[in-house]
Structure formats: structure tokens, C-alpha cells
Amino acid sequence: MLVEALGIPHISTGDMLREAVARGTSLGLLAKRYMDKGELVPDEVIVDMVMERLAQPDCQKGAILDGFPRTVYQAEAFEEALAREGKAIAVVPYIKVSMEKL
């Protein structure tokens, strides 16, 4: 609903990771090394991947991030990365939905 109402893309970090791995991007291949060992992809890689995705033309008016940030480090690193580009987080909604609604 928000995607249509705001006209901005929905970005799921899980989907983004799988797509980057499937496409064989440099970040995708780096992430795959960790995933193949059953390890979590480091926060730095996730933040870089999100920043790369947000640089795409369809995100120029913003994006809805799903599953990101997951850690305090990711949140701080993301905020710093945005600041380096002269950008900032505009809105952080918290949407709670009951299991029955899902």
C-alpha cells in the first residue's frame, strides 16, 4: 500500500542479497562467501549493498527499507553513509501488524 501511495520502491535486504548473489555482482560474490559458510553477511557489506541499491534511479525520491537496519551498527553506518552523500533519513515508521492480519 505504501509503495503505491508514495510511488517509491520496496527494498527487502534478503531479496537484495539473493539478487546480488544471483547476478554475480562484486558485493554479491563477497556476500556469497559468507553465506556458503553459513555465516552472517557482515554489516559493512549489507550497508554497502543498500547504498548501492539506493543509488539506482527508481530510488531518487526515496525507498521503503524492509529488514534494514537490523543492528545498531547498521543504523549508524547507514546514517554516516547517507551524510557523506548529503542525505538523511526522512521518516522511520514503525508498523505493528497482528499475526491474524498477516
Q: Domains of the chain by range and CATH?
A: 2-84 (3.40.50.300)
> Which pLDDT does position 51 carry in this prediction?
96
> Which pLDDT does position 95 carry in this prediction?
77
Q: What is the spatial distance between Cα 47 and Cα 13, in angstroms, rounded to a whole number?
A: 10
Higher pLDDT, 99 or 94: 99
Q: How do residues 16-28 score in pLDDT, each as one tens digit?
A: 999 999 999 999 9
| Of 32, 34, 36, 64, the residue nearest 50 (C-alpha) | 64
Q: How do residues 38-97 score in pLDDT, each as one tens digit?
A: 999 999 999 999 999 999 999 998 999 998 999 999 999 999 999 999 998 887 777 788
Q: Name the one residue in this structure whose C-alpha cell is 524492509.
A: 66
> Which pLDDT does position 86 carry in this prediction?
92
Q: In this structure, how many other beta carbons lie within 10 angstroms of the beta carbon of residue 35?
A: 15
Q: What is the spatial distance between Cα 25 and Cα 48, in angstroms, rounded to a whole number?
A: 12
> Which pLDDT does position 70 carry in this prediction?
93
